[in-house]
Amino acid sequence: MGLNRQQMSRRSFLQGSGMGAATTVILDAGLPDFLEEARAAEPDTVGPGAVPITLQVNGISYALSVTPATTLAEALRDALELTGTKIGCGRGACSACTVWLDSVPIASCMTLAVDVGVRKVTTIEGLAKGGDLHPVQSAFIAHDAMQCGFCTPGMVMSCAALLKENPRPTEEDVKAAISGHLCRCGTYPHVIAAVLDAARNGKS
Amino acid sequence: MAGETRMQKYPVGIASVSLGEIERRVSVDEAPPLPPNDKLKFIGKPVPRINGRAKVTGRATYTVDVKLPGMLHARLLRSPHPHARILSIDTKAAARRAGVRAIYVLDQVIGRAVEADPEPSQGRRVLYVGDPVAAVAAVTPQEADAALDLIKVDYQRLPFVIDIEDARKPDAPPVFAGPVQGTGFGDIRSLEQHGNVRGPNTSASRGNATAGFATAEVMVESEYRTQVQTHCCMETHAVVADWRKDGLTVHMSTQYTAGIRSQLARAFHLPLSRVRVVVDAMGGGFGSKSGVNNYVLAAVALSRNANAPVRLVLDRHEEQIDSGNRPATVQRIKVGARRDGTLTGVSIDTYGTAGVTTGAGVGNFAQAIYHCDNFAMAQSDVFVNAGPGCAMRAPGNVPGAFAYEQVIDELAEKLGLDALVLRERIDPSPVRRDERRLGAERFGWSRRRPPNSDKGPIKSGVGLAQSLWSANVNVNSACEVRILRDGSVEVRSSVQDIGTGIGTVLAQVVAEELGLKPNDITVRIGDTDFPAGPPSYGSITTASITPPARNAAYQVLRKLIETVGPSFGADPEALVARGGMIASPDGRHRIGFREAAAQLLVTQISAVASRSDDYGGFGRKFGEMAQARNSLGGVQFAEVTVDTETGRVRVERVVAVQDCGRPMNPLQIESQVQGGILQGISFALYEDRILDRHTGHMLNPNLEQYKILHVRETPSIEVHLLQNYQGESATDAYGIAEPANVATAPAIANAVYNAIGVRLRTLPMTPAAILAALGRVPKRS
């Protein structure tokens, strides 16, 4: 199994790590890009006091100082005042805090700000291009896929990520994409309708 | 013009069945009758919510997003013991810590039943795990948390009781030293109290149930149990208090800005004019954010003491143990009937627990839904050392309907009648009759099979249940509409949008009246600087605030017309507003709305209206709260599959037919109904607050072990809305949130019975409960 570092993607790394022998291969080949870059961007040990980091958020580079315990969600909300990202549980159970790292939706309450490294963060504030809403956002409005709206930013981020990966999702695909999201108001039926509609009409 | 009236004809009846007219005498200040929805431009249309863009872009500001200059962060110290006396609290070390700005010890607490004859104070007793003890405000939440660790509390631990059955025993440790005063809705009478059992309250009884049973030809008797459900608002309880010399401003995630203002003014001895309560976007409430609670009092006191704004946001654990819950119930029900289904007698003997407070009743469902002259009701509260319950979406009626709608099915089976046929005979509501007919047709009820018809391990079944909820109105509901000289329009009320979309509905109503578009209307709500609006609970909001909004729009439009009408030679009385114009009915005289407004001599004109009584009078009125003569209903049909090997119940399909008077925004109403159904499924199958009876700690105080329905458990849902015109107000609109939540759990339970032939009388219907009911695993005690 010849392994070219340049071709090592996050997905193949994750798939590979599930196969016993692959671990050795990876060690032989060095770290995959994203870990290598993350390591290069940071010293090995940080804290316990505040440390300077740089976050790339919605295309803007921010220099800030955070304690190592600061989550990405806290850094976004408190330091950068990007309060569109919501914290519902603080422990990865509700997905209200979903943002993208590069284009992967993650729980920002379960991600330390110091671990983000060079990966690009996209939050709900960065999804619309100028005044143009993302098709998922427009479809959420048209289908009333929100009530109190507190879970909505996270839900929108996961649905928009789905359409990026899979422009023609089935209802099952949509359910899979939002299966970790908790909406107490019960907007799921309208969310599903909105995403399927966005896929039909949008050019995401 | 006060006191002047005129006769007006209003549409009445169900639009899809037959519409008639009813004549009402109304004040001349009332806007003229609205035609049915199909003749209107915006009312009754699926107008997208006005704050949709703010919500999907993350710009909507929730209380947790409020950040004021110099704002401190507060955290609460909570009791780790289910019952203890506080002998001493030492806050000196915490106060010395850098970053700490204020400490507040909660000597007096609210949110629990109050002893009628309090014991001489020997130090405060904490009554449940999580009972707040002290609060710290510091420059960061972390500093506040660290300071909490430095507060030394000397507790004398006292005997406690967690389990409802244990608490009923005569020798159980008493939660309260003596009898308590009631705190719940409509229950302020003193009741008997023995140990932890307060009651029974028999005030809902009528006739003679025993005599009724004597004439019965068939009897059914069963016991039902429902669990404690927590609200789980996605935005936890949150407040930012800003105490200043010239007054107090409180940003709060609340269902009732005007009510919070009154409560805070009383608590801190401030005039109403010096207290302002603000909420922009609000992350769910479901009953739990209706009033002031200890965390709010603590934040205000800390702000006063620290001379700085203080933010206090509960974390999810605190939210689960101390932000209210739906009380557990145990209901023993006996129904007697004649062979034709006529109910001859009903007795309902219930007890339940709302922890350290009252209010564990089963509502008015059984007493009001079916005809029966002989009805006996005895309800008791049982106190345990657990966090206080509070209102939760259709309080009382949700557990009440779960039991009663199954008993009615049990009776139907015993009588050899179809469940639908029996209800046809005993339900006096003409609205539900139409709902049953429409629902049965859409659902395919006629294809129903006998119980346990499937031979394989996965069995499917269908069931139905009905809903009942009072059509509530709060007449202390006011709204202002302003027309500005540039033609812009503002609607202002302190009413808050908890996610139901009332702001959008106000824009629709005002736009309809002024001949403008909803987008033309600036909606300013959620702030007590505006005329005091109604709460967002009791499904009260739309019924209470839309008539004043329309009347205020009508009145301010008359002012505009009186100003400009003469200038273009038209009779002001005859002018109407439509399509952005003010015109005579024949269209000969017309002027643009903007041009008309430009002729105003002042920058703005305004009218304020408050809620009139229903035109035909209310059914009941107590103070500012009233109930319409007709109640709200609904019928829900559910199809389930039950895996008899794993015990898993899956809801496949729900058909709901609901009514809410004149539907104002069918898109938002559909959202509400879907939400009511999904919360009902979640209540029926998954949710359960589990307390460790040996320690009083909640074992699942989070969102992963406290199970809630997610998208994978969401069935196909079909919602049908009746347009039920009654000619009762300027909009004739009523609420929907709660009636949509009442019928779901019993419809599922009846469907489960139809699938497996065994009746589940205890919630939640977990796989373990199903397997136990099927005799596949031993029952848990």
Residue A68 sits at the chain B interface (C-beta within 8 Å):
no
Q: Do residues B546 and B638 share a domain?
A: no
Q: What per-residue confidence (pLDDT) applies to A11?
A: 41
Range in A16-25, B79-88, B671-680, B769-778 the model is least confident about? A16-25
Q: pLDDT class for A198, splitting at 50, 70, 90?
A: very high
Classify A45 in phi/psi space as left (phi over 0), alpha (psi -120 to 50) or beta: beta
The model's pTM is 0.94
Q: Do residues B615 and B488 share a domain?
A: yes
Name the token pair of B573.
Answer: 């009385």
Residue B568 sits at the chain A interface (C-beta within 8 Å):
no
Name the token pair of B653.
Answer: 């399909």
Compute the distance between CA of residue B627 and CA of residue B3 in angstroms, rounded to an integer.
24
Q: Which residues does chain A have within 8 Å of residue B708's beta carbon, measured at their own beta carbons?
A: 182, 184
Q: What per-residue confidence (pLDDT) applies to A12?
A: 42
Fold of A135-201: DNA polymerase; domain 1 (1.10.150)
- Phi then psi for B557, rounded to 5 degrees? -65, -40
Which of A137, A149, A153 shows the shortest C-beta gap to B499? A149
Q: Do residues B620 and B492 share a domain?
A: yes
- Compute the nearest-CA separation of B402 from chain A (Å): 20
Element (H, E) at A121: strand A120-122
Q: How many CB atoms lie within 10 A of CB B98?
A: 9
312-331 in chain B: CB under 8 A from chain A? 315-316
Pairing of strands B132-138, B84-90: unpaired
Average pLDDT of chain B to the nearest whole number: 96
Burial class (CB in 10 A: 0-12, 13-18, 19+), B760: buried
Q: Do residues B636 and B765 share a domain?
A: yes
**Strand, helix or coil for residue B552:** helix
Q: What per-residue confidence (pLDDT) applies to B656?
A: 98
Q: Order the strands of the B716-722 sheet from edge to edge.
A: B458-469, B632-643, B649-659, B716-722
Q: pLDDT class for A18, splitting at 50, 70, 90?
A: very low
Residue A141 sits at the chain B interface (C-beta within 8 Å):
yes
Q: Are B136 and B94 in contact (CB under 8 A)?
A: yes
In a domain, B642, yes or no: yes
Q: How many CB atoms lie within 10 A of CB B20?
A: 11
What distances in angstroms separate CA B127 from CA B83, B105, B321, one per listed residue? 5, 16, 12
Q: Are B524 and B705 in contact (CB under 8 A)?
A: no
Q: What per-residue confidence (pLDDT) applies to A13?
A: 40
Q: Do residues B565 and B695 share a domain?
A: no
List, in order, residues 6 or more apart from B191 with CB less than 8 Å away. Answer: B182, B198, B199, B200, B201
Domain ranges of chain A: 5-41, 51-126, 135-201
Compute the distance between CA of residue B251 and CA of residue B249 in angstroms, rounded to an integer.
7
Residue B185 has pLDDT above 60, yes or no: no
CA diameter of chain A: 52
Compute the distance between CA of residue A163 and CA of residue A139 in angstroms, rounded to an integer.
13
Query: Quick one: what percent of chain B has pLDDT higher than 90?
Result: 94
Helix axes B502-514 and B541-564, enclosed angle (nearest 10): 30
* Chain A residue whose CA is closest to B230: A184
Q: What per-residue confidence (pLDDT) applies to A130?
A: 86
For the residues of B267-314, what is the DSSP string, one character each? HTT--GGGEEEE-SB----TTTTSS--HHHHHHHHHHHHHTS-EEEE-
Name the token pair of B772.
Answer: 């136990």
Residue A83 sits at the chain B interface (C-beta within 8 Å):
yes
Which of B51, B316, B676 shows the shortest C-beta gap to A89? B316
CB contact under 8 A, A185 and B499: yes
Q: Which residues does chain B have within 8 Å of residue A125's beta carbon, measured at their own beta carbons?
A: 57-59
User: First-to-last CA distance in chain B?
Assistant: 68
Name the token pair of B178.
Answer: 């003596």
Q: Are B738 and B498 in contact (CB under 8 A)?
A: no
Q: Are B472 and B618 in contact (CB under 8 A)?
A: no
Residue B75 sits at the chain A interface (C-beta within 8 Å):
no
Q: What per-residue confidence (pLDDT) applies to B566?
A: 80
CA B759 to chain CA centroid, Å, is 29
Name the token pair of B749.
Answer: 């339970």
In a domain, B129, yes or no: no
Compute the distance between CA of residue B188 and CA of residue B359 in angstroms, rounded to an integer.
11
Q: Are B636 and B717 in contact (CB under 8 A)?
A: no
Residue B587 has pLDDT above 90, yes or no: no
Element (H, E) at B606: strand B604-610
Looking at B626, B642, B670, the residue that finishes a domain is B626
In a domain, B280, yes or no: no
B431-446 confidence digits (pLDDT tens): 999 999 999 999 999 9
Q: pLDDT class for A195, splitting at 50, 70, 90?
A: very high
To test the contact with chain B by mutation, choose from A71, A140, A188, A190 the residue with the greatest count of B C-beta atoms within 10 A, namely: A188
The arithmetic mean of pLDDT across residues B103-108, rounded, is 96
B248-284 confidence digits (pLDDT tens): 999 999 999 999 999 999 999 999 999 999 999 999 9
Looking at residue B686, what DSSP letter applies?
Answer: T
- Compute the nearest-CA separation of B592 from chain A (Å): 30
Compute the distance between CA of residue B30 and CA of residue B744 in angstroms, rounded to an integer.
38
Q: What per-residue confidence (pLDDT) applies to B781?
A: 58
Task: Work out how many domains chain B is built from and give that number.
Answer: 2
Which of B236, B499, B677 shows the shortest C-beta gap to A148? B499
B302-339 confidence digits (pLDDT tens): 999 999 999 999 999 999 999 999 999 999 999 999 99
Compute the distance between CA of residue B492 and CA of residue B506 in angstroms, rounded to an integer.
9
498-527 in chain B: CB under 8 A from chain A? 498-501
CA diameter of chain B: 87
Q: What per-residue confidence (pLDDT) applies to B501?
A: 98
Q: Do residues B695 and B740 share a domain?
A: yes
Radius of gyration of chain B (CA): 27
CB contact under 8 A, A188 and B667: no
Residue A134 has pLDDT above 50, yes or no: yes
Q: Do residues B595 and B478 share a domain?
A: yes
**Nearest residue to B229 via CA among B109, B133, B128, B352:** B352
Q: Do residues B450 and B481 share a domain?
A: no
695-754 in chain B: CB under 8 A from chain A? 702-704, 708-712, 714, 717
- Pick the residue with more confidence: B191 or B216? B216
Pairing of strands B238-244, B247-252: antiparallel
Q: Which residues does chain B have within 8 Å of residue A137's beta carbon, measured at their own beta carbons?
A: 53, 56-57
For the residues of B403-438, what is the DSSP string, one character each? HHHHHHHHHHHHHT--HHHHHHHH---HHHHHHHHH
Compute the distance between CA of residue B395 and CA of residue B362 in angstroms, rounded to an integer.
8
Residue A57 sits at the chain B interface (C-beta within 8 Å):
no
Looking up tokens 């990876």 gives A26
In a domain, B768, yes or no: yes
Q: What per-residue confidence (pLDDT) applies to B188?
A: 52
3-class DSSP string for B100-116: EEEEEECCCCCCCCEEC
- Phi then psi for B10, rounded to 5 degrees? -120, 145
Q: Which residues does chain A have within 8 Å of residue B501's beta carbon, measured at their own beta carbons?
A: 144, 147
Name the token pair of B472.
Answer: 């509530």
The arithmetic mean of pLDDT across residues B469-483, rounded, is 98
Q: Do residues B647 and B613 share a domain?
A: no
Looking at B626, B642, B669, the residue that finishes a domain is B626
- Phi then psi for B45, rounded to 5 degrees? -110, 155
Residue A16 has pLDDT above 90, yes or no: no
List, in order, residues 6 or more apart from B239 with CB less than 8 Å away. Answer: B63, B250, B251, B252, B253, B295, B296, B299, B311, B312, B313
Looking at residue B733, what DSSP letter applies?
Answer: B
- Compute the nearest-CA separation of A77 from chain B (Å): 8
* Chain A residue whose CA is closest to B665: A144
Q: What per-residue confidence (pLDDT) applies to A204?
A: 42
Compute the distance between CA of residue B772 and CA of residue B215 in angstroms, rounded to an integer.
36
- Compute the nearest-CA separation of A58 from chain B (Å): 13
Structural domain boundaries enclosing B720: 430-468+632-773
Q: Do residues B482 and B615 share a domain?
A: yes
Name the token pair of B776.
Answer: 């596949």
Residue B229 has pLDDT above 90, yes or no: yes
B700-723 confidence digits (pLDDT tens): 999 999 999 999 999 999 999 999
In a domain, B166, yes or no: no
CB contact under 8 A, B671 and A187: yes
Looking at B576, B602, B626, the residue that finishes a domain is B626
Q: What per-residue confidence (pLDDT) applies to A39?
A: 62
In a domain, B724, yes or no: yes
Compute the distance between CA of residue A31 and CA of residue A39 in angstroms, rounded to an integer.
10
253-282 in chain B: CB under 8 A from chain A? 281-282
Residue A151 sits at the chain B interface (C-beta within 8 Å):
yes
A–B interface: beta-carbon pairs under 8 A = 164
3-class DSSP string for B536-550: CCCCCHHHHHHHHHH
Q: Do residues B511 and B457 share a domain?
A: no
CA B620 to chain CA centroid, Å, is 19
Q: Are A168 and A204 in contact (CB under 8 A)?
A: no
In a domain, B73, yes or no: no
Q: Is the ipTM, as predicted for this complex, more than 0.90? A: yes
Pairing of strands B375-382, B343-353: parallel
**Nearest residue to B266 via CA among B110, B391, B64:** B110
A43-63 confidence digits (pLDDT tens): 567 888 999 999 999 999 999
DSSP alpha helix (H) spans, B444-540: 502-514
Compute the distance between CA of residue B664 and CA of residue B174 in angstroms, rounded to an integer.
50
Query: Quick one: what percent of chain A has pLDDT higher than 90?
Result: 74
Helix axes B294-306 and B257-267, enclosed angle (nearest 10): 60
Name residue B80's amino acid. Answer: P
- Compute the nearest-CA separation of B446 from chain A (Å): 27
Angle (CA) B205 B472 B363, round 5°: 35
Fold of A51-126: Ubiquitin-like (UB roll) (3.10.20)
3-class DSSP string for B122-177: CCCEECCCCCEEEEEEECCHHHHHHHHCCCEEEEEECCCCCCHHHHHCCCCCCCCC
Q: Do residues B680 and B710 share a domain?
A: yes
Q: Which residues pair with B204 in a beta bridge?
A: none
In a domain, B308, yes or no: no
Compute the distance between CA of residue B86 and CA of residue B781 in angstroms, rounded to an integer.
35
CB contact under 8 A, A144 and B668: yes
